[in-house]
């Protein structure tokens, strides 16, 4: 069985993976920074980072540093026609968040751990107002 290259996956599959990878990153970072918070408060805090609005805000902090292939993946994710719609976000925020998640999924599947850590760390720092 041969494995696809990261760039060969559809943008929505990349976003599916990226959503999981980024949420895990956020949860671990919050627990590390606030080890004594109860689980409910940890969850409430995580929402501030993983919501479509927060991820859309994060994109602005990383766009300028994206390499050509990364920008291409982000744009493919942002422009993908999703069968689901934004529930608690504007369509613009939802699409930008999908692009961000696609980028995270791409970097994860590509195995570029250093670049992934850099992107997620900057995004995390810029997610909240």
Residues known to be catalytic: 19
Please, what is the end-to-end C-alpha distance for the chain in angstroms? 45
**CA–CA separation, 106 and 22 (whole Å):** 12
**CA–CA separation, 92 and 84 (whole Å):** 14
Look up tokens 């993908």; give the residue.
80
Q: Phi and psi at residue 13, in whole multiples of 5°?
A: -70, -40
Q: What is the DSSP string of 62-75?
A: HGGG--HHHHHHHH
Tokens of 22: 């980024």
């Amino acid at each position: 069985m041969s494995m696809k290259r990261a760039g060969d996956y559809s943008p929505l599959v990349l976003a599916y993976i990226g959503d999981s990878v980024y949420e895990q990153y956020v949860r671990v970072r919050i627990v590390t920074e606030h080890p004594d918070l109860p689980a409910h408060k940890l969850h409430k805090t995580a929402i501030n980072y993983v919501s479509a609005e927060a991820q859309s805000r994060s994109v602005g902090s990383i766009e300028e540093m994206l390499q050509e292939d990364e920008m291409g993946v982000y744009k493919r994710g942002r422009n993908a026609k999703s069968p689901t719609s934004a529930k608690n976000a504007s369509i613009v925020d939802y699409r930008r968040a999908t692009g961000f998640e696609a980028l995270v999924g791409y970097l994860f599947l590509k195995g570029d751990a250093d670049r992934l850590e850099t992107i997620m760390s900057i995004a995390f720092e810029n997610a909240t107002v």
